[in-house]
């Protein structure tokens, strides 16, 4: 199936720019499509970068993860694609106040917005060799965005030490929820 035919098929089933209800769709698997999302959130078709934002947003709205595999899904077909790390990049952060509480909201490279208000929306993987943090935020269902460096630094500026699960943790608050990053004792101060 060509990229143009897939786009036409998708447009029949997806209205507007909101994510489609892919969790309700279970069409037959139609094979793999040579679409690849690299670790920087760039989309490629047959090794050529897709630069049309509208097409990327369209594809991102029908993206689904099952097990460890990613698919583009319509009500009538499902095709596999390759994702290096996660499909999205959280490249904007907005911090607002509600009383004394921070409300942290991210926007992704494909236009999704997510407000941090549940503990399971945020996690960090630390590189075993370098100790470098790789922070992620859940965008929808089981799809995550990697938080870019500038946004992560803004998060770090909000951090403080708090008691969490009977230990001292370095982390930040959003929507009355504490998001731990690392135990305070692990910090090299």
* 59 and 79 within one domain: yes
Q: Does residue 189 sit within a domain?
A: no
pTM of the model: 0.85
- What span, in angstroms and rounded, lies between the C-alpha atoms of 12 and 5? 11
In order, the DSSP letters of 42-99 are: -EEETTEE---HHHHHHHHTTEEEETTEEEEE-SS-EEEEEESS-SEEEEEEEEEEET
- What span, in angstroms and rounded, lies between the C-alpha atoms of 136 and 108? 11
* 107 and 31 within one domain: no
* 94 and 15 within one domain: no
Which residue is listed with tokens 């970068």?
49
* 106 and 78 within one domain: no
Select from 33, 68, 83 the last residue of a domain. 83
* 10 and 68 within one domain: yes
Please answer whether residues 184 and 163 qualify as being in contact, where contact means their C-beta atoms are separated by less than 8 angstroms: no
Q: Which domain holds residue 43?
A: 3-83
pLDDT in tens, the chain (189 residues): 555 565 555 555 444 568 899 999 999 999 999 999 999 999 999 999 999 999 999 999 999 999 999 999 999 999 999 999 999 999 999 999 999 999 999 999 999 999 999 999 999 998 899 888 999 999 998 999 999 999 999 999 999 999 999 999 999 999 999 999 998 988 875
């Amino acid at each position: 199936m060509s990229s143009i035919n897939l786009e036409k098929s998708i447009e029949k089933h997806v209205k507007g720019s909101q994510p489609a209800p892919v969790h309700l769709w279970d069409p037959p698997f139609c094979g793999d499509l040579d679409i690849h999302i690299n670790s920087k959130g760039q989309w490629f078709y047959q090794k050529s970068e897709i630069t049309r934002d509208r097409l990327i947003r369209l594809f991102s709205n029908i993206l689904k993860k099952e097990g460890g595999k990613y698919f583009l899904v319509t009500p009538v077909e499902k095709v596999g694609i390759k994702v290096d790390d996660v499909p999205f990049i959280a490249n904007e952060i907005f911090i607002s106040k509600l009383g004394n509480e921070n409300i942290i909201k991210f926007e992704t490279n494909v236009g999704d917005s997510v407000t941090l208000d549940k503990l399971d929306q945020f996690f960090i993987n630390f590189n075993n060799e370098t100790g470098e943090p790789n922070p992620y935020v859940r965008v929808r269902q089981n799809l995550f965005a990697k938080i870019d460096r500038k946004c992560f630094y803004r998060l770090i500026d909000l951090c403080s030490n708090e008691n969490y699960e009977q230990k001292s943790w370095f982390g930040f608050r959003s929507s009355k929820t504490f998001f731990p990053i690392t135990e305070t004792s692990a910090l090299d101060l």
